[in-house]
A and B are shown apart, each in its own frame.
Chain A
Amino acid sequence: MRPTFSIILFTVLSGAGYGLWFLIGLALTTLWPHCGPSQRGGSFTFCVYPAALPCGLIVGFALVSAGLLSSLGHLGQPRRAWRALSQWRSSWLSREGVASILTYAPALALIVIEGMRLRSAMQPADLSAPAAGMNLDGWNLALGALLAVGSAATVFCTAHIYASLMPIRAWHNRYVVPGYLLLGLYGGALCLWVLETLPGTWRMRETPGLLVGLVVVATASALLKVFYWRQIDRAPTVSAGHAIGLESLGSVRSFEQPHTEENYLTHEMGFVLARKHSRKLRAIALLAGFLVPALLALLGLAMPATRFAAGWLALVSGMTGVFVERWLFFAEAKHAVMAYYGR
């Protein structure tokens, strides 16, 4: 399949954005569930949590939105994109659209709460005042959970767009959905690490945990990709004889194409370059994408002073590797229709 830049950019950027939102949602639900606003004596109060989380909400918003906008670039009629929200009963692409819009709701609500928190930080609330009025303690718990679920669901739908296409064996494959989920989470973890190293008031006690998690996710992703590549290499291709249903008559060979020129099908589905260089490109994806960031995370664990530089290096290297991996995911995949062309 021809690797379309807008789609690759979309799956990589929004994947990382949703990964980041997922991690933040998870943190808000499990680590800081009671940091939501409470109304005490007419003013809101908030507890304190690491600055990486509010920053992450904004960065996640930027990544997700940039990715979704980029995906519109693939459309022939982008002004009609709203129609894509209508067929969620049957279409994974439509479900993805609906999930992505719904996920904006908890994300934007949390961003608004953050804004309120920053304002109230300017005017310290009187913590000794007796609690009165609304108690909004559960907000972070609920919104965080919604954000995590929505993010995971959106990436799940994205993966299923590809995994549901039977004519493309490299996509209709049991490694594709876990691959998209895991790589999204991985991109999110890389972003969160960098955000955590930014100068801010509240540092995370949990950074070592994040780095250990990063190493685990990188290892799991690398293993998953190795298994995936092994499987697509072993998958048999469709022969011309099978495609025209005359295998039983003898060996079938295409000697004349319908037209002298290339057409939409051969242009869109007859991409060969990636399969020619797949070995090198896979090695680059594994090294830059997973090995280097995992080693940098270990370095960060051993020597906390290196975390700032290591975090940025890991992000650049890791995202480059994930981009190469996603390029290969599209470019290496072979469509069954090419059998009619004897390719």
Chain B
Amino acid sequence: MTSLPPPAAKKLGLVIDLDTCVGCHACAVACKEWNDGGDFGPLPDKDPYGAEPNGVWFNRVHSYAVEQATPQGTREMTVHFPRSCLHCETPACVTVCPTGASYKRAEDGIVLVDADKCIGCQLCSWACPYGAREYSAQKGTMQKCTLCVDRIYNETLDEADRQPACVMACPTRARHFGDLGDENSPISKLVAERGGYQLMPEFGYQPVNKYLPPRPRRDGCNASASNAPREEKLDAEKLPGVLRWLDRALSR
């Protein structure tokens, strides 16, 4: 059914820390590997190892420069931004689906596509402002982040490994997985503590995933206000004899 289930208490999702994300793409690669690399044989992409590979990625990492005006002049801050399905509470991608292939799970809020019912009309990808859904021309169906539903409930894995592949892979722990419907869960506390926010809330889809904004930069960190190379200070008197002679000889 593409009608939405009644609001559930459990809202599984991700919290992504834009302060610590270093843009290494490990999450994107781990995601691709878990979801597409499980079989022997080539990736199910178009031209997967050729000059113009084109395939579905559930998670893509963008990089932005944020230009800020400070009393010392303008400075630029880099923000790496992983973008994937936000598992919205009221997602339009689900309600526009004509076949019932696109659905939101009542028990934990995960938004999924039933590949056996999808007719590949692509309307759901048009309905998502976050670009969470990508169509596979090879499979003829729509694909999206499953929140690694095949990992998080997988009893054959160690309990510590029952997390999305992207979360497991992140080397800076910028990605957190948990129940955002539970106010006392660690990630809900993290969101409250760090001022986590929703992406483009004006659409009214109520994304479950939250992003943590970069922490304010300390002023000493960005001395790059002027582009002229600064002169470094050197106390020649403190150098050992040979180097003191070298400094004198080269300074002539």
Q: Which residues of A contact B (CB under 8 A)?
A: 1, 74-78, 80-81, 83-87, 89-94, 97, 161, 164-168, 238, 240-246, 249-259, 261-265, 267-269, 335-337, 340-341
Contacts and interface: CB of A to CB of B under 8 A. Distances in A.
A321 B162 CA distance: 57
Contacts of A94: 98-99
Centre residue among A1, A238, A241, A261 by max chain B CB count within 10 A: A261
Contact of B119 (A80, A167, A242, A261): A80
Contacts of B96: 90-93, 161, 164-165
A35 B197 CA distance: 66
A167 B129 contact: yes
B119 A337 contact: no
Contacts, number: 197
Interface stretch (B131-139, B148-156, B172-180, B242-250): B131-139
Contacts of A168: 126
Interface in B103-149: 117-123, 125-131, 134-137, 139-141
A166 B119 contact: no
A250 B66 contact: yes
A84 B126 contact: no
Interface residues of B, number: 66
A111 B55 CA distance: 48
Given A83-B100, A253-B64, A336-B129, A75 B119 contact: yes
A250 B64 CA distance: 11
Contacts of A250: 66-69, 77
A42 B18 CA distance: 83
Contacts of A257: 62
B165 interface: no
B54 interface: yes
Contacts of A268: 122, 125, 135
A245 B197 contact: yes
Given A87-B1, A94-B98, A251 B67 contact: yes
B3 A259 contact: no
B60 interface: yes
Nearest to A336: B129
Interface string B180-218: 000000000000000001111001000000010110000
B64 A244 contact: yes
Contacts of B200: 238, 242-243, 245, 336
Contacts of A265: 125, 131, 134
A246 B18 contact: yes
